[in-house]
Amino acid sequence: MYLVRIRLLLVFVAAFAARCVGAADVIPTLSADRSEWVEVAPEGTQCWDGSPWHFWYRGGSTDKLVVWFEGGGACWNAALCDVTGQPTFQSTLTAQPPAANGLFDQRRLNNPLHDFSVVLLPYCTGDAHIGRRTVDYQRPDGTRYRFAHEGSRNTLAALDWLRSRGFDPKTLVVGGESAGAIGAAFWATEIGNRWPQAQLIALGDSAGGYRSVGANTALRQWGVLDALPDLPAYHDHDRVFFESFYIAAAQQHPGARMAQVNFADDAVQRRFMSLLGTPVKKLTKPLTCNLNEVRIDAPGFHSYIYPGARHTMLRTAAVYTTRCEGHSLVDWIDDLIAGRPLENRWCDGTTSALVSPARTPAL
């Protein structure tokens, strides 16, 4: 059962109209109007503290679908998850519909996703959308608190909702930024299984540099390793890392097109590398090693690296102005989605520049 709130985004009006449909009522037909967001609150879903979770849907082409995972930090121990201290994850959801920025700006005709139907999965579980475990954490003073790393439950509820609405896309983009990019890579396998007739495209923004044993520790803490599908990439649970998700998706879906975009020296990724127990002065080395390892086992995987230490690009206006070796990022993404020939791009700051700034959210 679902609670659906339709929020009509009015042009030139800084307000929205809303109405609620109870779970027992007939859910209205969803409009293909790309100015309309629908808020859906599936029963049985929750944030880390048990508060309600919801996701957003915006109509578009019936044969083109984006499932997008929002970023917002991560945590895997009592100190990092404690909201009374200095937590390293986004703990609450916003009631406002997603902003029409970057690849979510349907007004830009050069946006490769401008006519896609979009599902945005917000984030409040500290587990990159993939956790399957509720944990009792203990503070240094002996007090305890319960934390629901239950991102998988939320994601599965959203996917079930999509199936219940009869979606049958021919082109299916699974994407995310920061921690959401980890979730997108993980869920690409399952989403491809649910719509096997669709062309699967996985696109991650700003999560390629996590080369640390600590990543495996986080996956274990979230309960992820005990629920992995039977794929070669996952046979040795002690050697499953975030990049393993791309390899697993390629093994399950050999025709999938996959890509990552990253800032070459992303300061947020460097900070989380330290939290994972592997501090680095520069992100370029772990980033290069990760990308090369994925390409060995996933030939359809490509990367676009741009200069600087900022974090995330694809949901900002800079996606339209960034160039590397004379090639624009937005055209590169368009080629990825359209299936045109694609080359890996690496810029270190000497041959390209960012024309407009990007916001800097957490992991």
- Euclidean distance between CA atoms 346 and 131, whole angstroms: 32
Say what the pLDDT of residue 56 is.
Answer: 97
Amino acid at the residue 191:
I
Say what the pLDDT of residue 353 is.
Answer: 37
Residue carrying the six token digits 């790393």: 149
Tokens standing for 248? 């697993």
User: By C-alpha distance, which of 236, 169, 244 is closest to 201?
Assistant: 169
For residues 286 and 208, the answer to whether their CB atoms sit within 8 Å is no
User: By C-alpha distance, which of 347, 342, 341, 303 is closest to 325?
Assistant: 347
Other Cβ atoms closer than 10 A to 26: 7
- Euclidean distance between CA atoms 35 and 208, whole angstroms: 32
Say what the pLDDT of residue 21 is.
Answer: 35
CATH class of 36-346: alpha beta
- Euclidean distance between CA atoms 298 and 138, whole angstroms: 41
Say what the pLDDT of residue 4 is.
Answer: 55
Say what the pLDDT of residue 6 is.
Answer: 45
Residue 89: how many CA atoms within 13 Å on its side-chain side? Answer: 31
Question: Judging by beta carbons within 10 Å of its beta carbon (0-12, 13-18, 19+), is residue 311 exposed, middle or buried?
Answer: buried
CA distances from 280 to 267, 274, 276, 293, 294 (A): 10, 7, 11, 19, 21
List Cβ neighbours of 217 (8 Å cut-off, separation of 6 or more).
76, 276, 277
pTM to 2 decimal places: 0.90
List Cβ neighbours of 142 (8 Å cut-off, separation of 6 or more).
none
Q: Kindly give the confidence (pLDDT) of every residue in the chain, 363 residues in length, as a single tens digit, with 9 standing for 90 and above.
A: 555 554 433 332 333 333 333 333 334 445 556 668 999 999 999 999 999 999 999 999 999 999 999 999 999 999 999 999 999 999 999 889 999 999 999 999 999 999 999 999 999 999 999 999 999 999 999 999 999 999 999 999 999 999 999 999 999 999 999 999 999 999 999 999 999 999 999 999 999 999 999 999 999 999 999 999 999 999 999 999 999 999 999 999 999 999 999 999 999 999 999 999 999 999 999 999 999 999 999 999 999 999 999 999 999 999 999 999 889 999 999 999 999 999 999 996 634 333 333 333 445
List Cβ neighbours of 107 (8 Å cut-off, separation of 6 or more).
100, 114
User: By C-alpha distance, which of 248, 128, 132 is closest to 181?
Assistant: 128
Say what the pLDDT of residue 94 is.
Answer: 87
CA 22 to chain centre: 29
For residues 343 and 301, the answer to whether their CB atoms sit within 8 Å is no
List Cβ neighbours of 289 (8 Å cut-off, separation of 6 or more).
211
- Euclidean distance between CA atoms 293 and 272, whole angstroms: 21
Say what the pLDDT of residue 271 is.
Answer: 98
Question: Judging by beta carbons within 10 Å of its beta carbon (0-12, 13-18, 19+), is residue 231 exposed, middle or buried?
Answer: middle
List Cβ neighbours of 143 (8 Å cut-off, separation of 6 or more).
none
Q: Tell me how far apart the terminal alpha carbons of the chain are, to the nearest angstrom.
A: 32
